[in-house]
Structures are given as structure tokens and as C-alpha cells.
Copies of this chain bind each other. A is one copy, B any other.
Amino acid sequence: MKLFEYEAKNILAKYKIPVPNGELATNPDQACELATKLKPPFVVKAQVLVAGRGKAGGIVFANSVAEVEKAAEKLLKMQIKGIAVKSVWIEEKIQIKKELYLGITTDRFNQSYVMIASSVGGMEIEEIASKTPEKIIRFPINSQNGFHSFHARQIARKMGYAGNQLSELGRIFEGLYHAGMDYDAELIEMNPLVETVDGKFVAADARTIVDDNALFRHPEYKNRLLEGESELTLQEVEAAKNDLAYVRLDGDIGVIGNGAGLVMATLDTIQYYGGKPANFLDVGGGAPAEKIAVALKIVLSDPNVKALFINILGGITRCDEVARGILEAKSKVGVTKPMVIRLVGTNEDEGKGILTEAKIPVLESMEDAAQQAVAISKQGGK
């Protein structure tokens, strides 16, 4: 779950990492009023969870409170990549000397968290990595030993700092580590972490992605996610509420499957045969009938969908539960689009039996089913 910039910065501040003084406003009047608490010049930043906010005009500089009001007015009417701006963050502008990068993410290969630092910042870390790979410092963290302030100082030294600046960076890095661990961040970064003209350090922008699987430890965010206060579409919120992994795409074949790999391979196979998937929907392992029914409901609520391709290979998922879910959806939601169903694996015979009895045909080969779904979509869903 992505956090808003202001949330990410509030977390940093809690760990004594310097962030610019700032205030959150949801309307221009409030923006105007709150700006008076701050020192000009200002930056007014749209609080949206999509990348590329700056290029889309979501960040506006303002020299006076009046300009803040104007900026807020403009931003709060904006949509950035289809997402309405509901709030703006007004903060004091920093006098930048240099932009650095600091983040913590996971390192699959070393099975650990890794701190990534660079004396070049302000652009996406992937861009830094490809433009100036020699400036990237990767510091694996041994979770048994922990990350201590001396580790932080060692990194600061490799970034070229010494003396008081090294000590100060050490404190900031250590703070970021504790913030990341305490908030179960799968990514926490300061980009840029700014060295100011007077040699201090300030986190000018901050990003945090909380591990979805750890949200049970962070009810404050879990609740916000479920209340729809996030970047998600209606279908995505509905999916999240039901523990379904749903991603909307731009095609016309609705896809439901179990297991991310299988669903991705299903999308790939549809594309291979010239079709276009409308979505990714993984019901996960061991989905009961009700969950299958909800999945169907979500996919069918997308008006672009012309055909439905259900691809289930049961392991922990039982085919009979899937079959019952399909019947439940048929009776409750009403399935008006043509369905192609492929169902094999655990309790396969029971599942097929249930569907066959209900006069719903079941296929065995994924490729055959994909080709059939593509054919139906090309005929406009008939």
C-alpha cells in the first residue's frame, strides 16, 4: 500500500529526520490559512499516489500566501493520470545544494533488506542506476545483527561525507531504517534527500510502500485502504476488501484464475493468440465459492469485458468450490457475458460434475480455452 507524501513525511519526522515544515489542505481557503504558519517561498504539491506527478503539473511553486491559494485552487481541480487531487501539501521551499538518494527495499537474492544510497538523487532510482551505476551504494542489512548507527556512518562516508555531515547523515539513515522496520515498509525512500546550501540535510520528497501482508499490524492504514482513501479504482477497492488481486488492463477479455503465475501466463497466452485481456484477477489459493462469485461480479462490472475466461488449476483451490462459486454468481449477479471455463486439479471431477449438471461446458487445455475466448471477443462477445 502506497502512502501519500505527507504521510511518509510525517513518519520520517517521527524518527527525527528533518523534513520541510508543511501543512495539509483540502481546500484553497484552508491552504491560504495554513500557509500563513509557514515561511515563504512555498511549494504546493498535489497529494496523489501516481508516479510522474511533477511532470503532470502537480507541483507548483508560490512566493506568497496569495499564490499558494491560487496554486491550491488549480491543483484541487486537477486530475493526475485519472486520479482526482483531494488534498495538497504546502511546504517551505528548500535551498538545494545537492540532491541525494536514500532508500530501503528488499533484496530477493540475499533474502534481506538492503539500503540503497547514492550521492546522485532526484530521479527514479532505476534511472540513477543506469546513468551513474558507480554512484550506487548497496548495503545489505543482516536482520539478526540489525542496522546500527555505525553502519549508517560507513555509508555516509562512502557517499563522500565526513565530519559533522557524516554524523548527521548517520542519524538520518538510522532513523530511516527504524521507520522502515516499524512500519513494515517494503519500500521507504527519501528522493531527493537534499543537502541544503548551509550544509544541512532535509528529506524533500518521501515515498513509503507498506507491505500489504503486514497491514494487520498497521490498522490505521488498513482502514484507510478499505475506505477507498487511496489510489485504487472501485473494482480494486472491492477486490482488496475481498483479498483478491485485481489489476485493470485495457482489453476486452475478463480473466479470472488462481495463482499469479498462472493468471499472468493466461494473459500472455491470450495476447499470444491475438486477444487483449481486460484485467488480471487472481483469486489466490483455496478460494471458497463466495470469493469466486465476488471475483466474477468484479470482472463483470467492467463494461469493456466481452468475454470471460476462467482458468483454474486446483492445488489448494478446490474445483468444486470454484464450480459452486460460478453457479452462485450466475444465480445472484446474473452472468450475461459468454464464459470459457477451464477447470482441472484438486476435486476436478466434483467441479466438472457440478458445472456439467448446470449445463456449463468445461475445457481441459489452457491454450484451447484461450483461443476460444479470443475468438468470442473478436466476434464482439457472442
Interface set of A (CB-CB < 8 Å, partner B): 144-145
Q: What are 2 A-B interface contacts by the 8 Å CB criterion?
A: A144-B144, A144-B145
With both beta carbons as reference points, the residue of chain B lying nearest to A144 in the complex is identified as B144
With both beta carbons as reference points, the residue of chain B lying nearest to A143 in the complex is identified as B144
Give every chain B residue within 8 A of A144 (Cβ-Cβ).
Answer: 144-145
With both beta carbons as reference points, the residue of chain B lying nearest to A146 in the complex is identified as B144
Give every chain B residue within 8 A of A145 (Cβ-Cβ).
Answer: 144
Q: Give Cα A144–Cα B145 distance, bound, in whole angstroms.
A: 7
Closest 2 CB pairs of A and B: A144-B144, A144-B145
Q: Give Cα A144–Cα B144 distance, bound, in whole angstroms.
A: 5
Q: Give Cα A168–Cα B219 distance, bound, in whole angstroms.
A: 23
Q: Decide if the interface of chain A is mainly helix, strand, loop or mixed.
A: loop
Q: Give Cα A196–Cα B144 distance, bound, in whole angstroms.
A: 39
Q: Give Cα A145–Cα B145 distance, bound, in whole angstroms.
A: 10
Chain B nearest CB from A149 CB (Å) reads 15
Chain B nearest CB from A125 CB (Å) reads 31
With both beta carbons as reference points, the residue of chain B lying nearest to A142 in the complex is identified as B144
Chain B nearest CB from A239 CB (Å) reads 32
Q: Give Cα A379–Cα B145 distance, bound, in whole angstroms.
A: 61
Q: Give Cα A144–Cα B143 distance, bound, in whole angstroms.
A: 9
Q: Give Cα A145–Cα B144 distance, bound, in whole angstroms.
A: 7
Chain B nearest CB from A44 CB (Å) reads 37
Chain B nearest CB from A174 CB (Å) reads 15
Q: Give Cα A321–Cα B123 distance, bound, in whole angstroms.
A: 57
Chain B nearest CB from A14 CB (Å) reads 16
Q: Give Cα A361–Cα B237 distance, bound, in whole angstroms.
A: 85
Q: Give Cα A191–Cα B144 distance, bound, in whole angstroms.
A: 32
Q: Give Cα A89–Cα B298 distance, bound, in whole angstroms.
A: 56
Q: Give Cα A145–Cα B143 distance, bound, in whole angstroms.
A: 10
Q: Give Cα A90–Cα B34 distance, bound, in whole angstroms.
A: 47
Q: Give Cα A273–Cα B125 distance, bound, in whole angstroms.
A: 75
With both beta carbons as reference points, the residue of chain B lying nearest to A145 in the complex is identified as B144
Chain B nearest CB from A197 CB (Å) reads 34
Chain B nearest CB from A328 CB (Å) reads 35
Q: Give Cα A324–Cα B318 distance, bound, in whole angstroms.
A: 85
